[in-house]
Amino acid sequence: MKRYLVKPKSLVDLSTHDPRDSGAFDGGKKEGRDHLAKLVARLEELQEVLYAENRHRVLVVLQAMDTGGKDGTIRSVFGPLNPQGVRVASFKVPTPEELAHDFLWRIHKQTPRHGEIAVFNRSHYEDVLVVRVRSLMPESVWSKRYERINAFERILAEEGTTILKFFLHIDLAEQKERFQARIDEPAKRWKFNTADLKERKLWPEYVRAYEDALSKTSTKHAPWYIIPANRKWYRNIAVATVVLHTLEGLGMEYPKPAFDPAAIVIE
């Protein structure tokens, strides 16, 4: 999955990233689903140790264009994990109280505690994405935020939080299909909002804003991955694989018991 990693200080051009890529998987959906099941089973084991050890904190940031698959990724990759150790935080339009504070205030409060995986469904990156594209703040404000985001993430990392950031990359044609499905299928209509089409018209502006954010904020301690996301099953595999390798790399262990198991007899 290294090839999806955005190298620090590299310039991202999204047109060179194929959203239909499915890596080495040519067996298609069925093979993909079977593989995901294995990855998720291993993730469940590792999460158990993470929770038991109560030492590491893991932050997963999910960003995408509308219909990009944040919800589906959360359901498929993180849904099967022990809910006691996973928390999803969704960041919507800021409330008046949130707006009365600095843009990282509401974010910091949702960062993971020891033993926990926090999944951000949208994040502080909205403050350099929608805020920039929609001119909710002047450029003099949002342009300074990349550096602040890097500083904030460095603090989290140096204090012991492992950070992974995923941009779920779909193309315009795929978004059209997914919107159409939300209109056609009664059970999906609740997800559709006519205002979404206005955002869709701003696609090129969002691409530019994403390219800038990905270029400026992928760091060693908080790397971005550009995940090909047109194929949902491959998107899930790619995200699960990166999370899995990262957890494997933490060298976690169950805590040593504070008693001698051989010496205990339960009457």
**Chain residues that interact with ligand ADP, rule: CB under 6 A:** 66, 91-94, 121-122, 126-127, 130-131, 136
Kindly tell me which of 66 and 116 has the beta carbon lying closer to ligand ADP: 66
List 119's β-bridge partners, or say none: 60, 88
CB of 1 to ligand ADP, least distance (A): 24
Q: Contacts for 132-135 with beta carbons within 8 Å, 24 or more apart?
A: 132/209, 133/202, 133/205, 133/206, 133/209, 134/202
Q: Contacts for 182-187 with beta carbons within 8 Å, 24 or more apart?
A: 182/67
CB of 131 to ligand ADP, least distance (A): 5
Half-sphere exposure of 191 (CA within 13 A, CB side): 18
Using alpha carbons only, how large is the chain's radius of gyration in Å? Answer: 20
CB of 91 to ligand ADP, least distance (A): 5
Kindly tell me which of 116 and 127 has the beta carbon lying closer to ligand ADP: 127
CB of 92 to ligand ADP, least distance (A): 4
Kindly tell me which of 92 and 201 has the beta carbon lying closer to ligand ADP: 92
The DSSP result for 206-261, as a single string, is HHHHHHHHHHHH--SSS-EEEEE-SSHHHHHHHHHHHHHHHHHTT---PPPPSS-G
CB of 199 to ligand ADP, least distance (A): 7
Kindly tell me which of 9 and 92 has the beta carbon lying closer to ligand ADP: 92
Q: How far is CA 222 from CA 76, 158, 175, 231, 255, in A?
A: 23, 11, 28, 25, 27
Strands (E), the chain: 57-64, 86-90, 117-121, 161-169, 224-228
CB of 121 to ligand ADP, least distance (A): 6
Kindly tell me which of 51 and 120 has the beta carbon lying closer to ligand ADP: 120
Kindly tell me which of 51 and 142 has the beta carbon lying closer to ligand ADP: 142
Cβ-contact 240, 119 below 8 angstroms: no
Tokens describing residue 256: 């040593």
